[in-house]
């Protein structure tokens, strides 16, 4: 008898805690979150290039120059933004950041020059050359 009461009460309880569909979650599942992420490159005071990602590159540059950014840039201040590229998903941004970090310095400089020309978005395939850099399989 007690077990049937428990089942009835647990069924009512489960019905009350089932979440209703959230439009924001549905939007997230469809692949568009409304947030824009950026892959960016900064040129440090010693001439080296640092690549990172952020939601607001300008604010991130201010953090780098205040010494609150990455440990690498805090020792090489001031830094200046030389390249940024927008993406609508964090996953795509992180993949692109990895691809840019794998480029040689010459390829990074080419990417910066191409973006500075103002031809629109840089062609990532042309900038990376013919080398295919993907994560190794585990």
Q: What is the CATH number of the domain that holds 96?
A: 3.40.1440
Domain boundaries, position 41: 37-127
Which pLDDT score is estimated for 32? 54
Inside any domain, residue 23: no
Domain contains 121 = yes
- pTM over 0.85? The answer is no
- Evaluate whether residue 4 is within a structural domain: no
Concatenating the DSSP letter of every residue in 37-93 gives EEEEEEE-TTS-EEEEEES-HHHHHHHHHTT-S-HHHHTS---EEEEEEEES-HHHH
Output the tens digit of pLDDT for each of the chain's 138 residues.
Answer: 555 555 555 455 444 444 444 444 444 454 555 789 999 999 999 999 999 999 999 999 999 999 998 999 999 999 999 999 999 899 999 999 999 999 999 999 999 999 988 755 444 444 444 344 444 444
């Amino acid at each position: 008898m007690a077990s049937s009461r428990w089942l009835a009460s647990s069924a009512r309880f489960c019905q009350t805690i089932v979440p209703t569909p959230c439009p924001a979650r549905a939007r997230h599942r469809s692949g568009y979150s409304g947030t824009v992420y950026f892959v960016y490159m900064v040129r440090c005071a010693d001439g080296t290039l640092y690549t990172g990602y952020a939601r607001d590159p300008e604010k991130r540059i201010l953090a780098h120059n205040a010494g609150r950014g990455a440990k690498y840039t805090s020792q090489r201040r001031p830094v200046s933004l030389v390249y940024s590229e927008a993406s609508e998903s964090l996953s795509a941004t992180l993949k692109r950041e990895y691809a840019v970090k794998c480029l040689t310095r010459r390829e990074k400089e080419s990417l910066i020059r191409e973006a500075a020309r103002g031809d629109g978005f840089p062609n990532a395939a042309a900038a990376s050359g013919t080398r295919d850099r993907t994560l190794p399989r585990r």
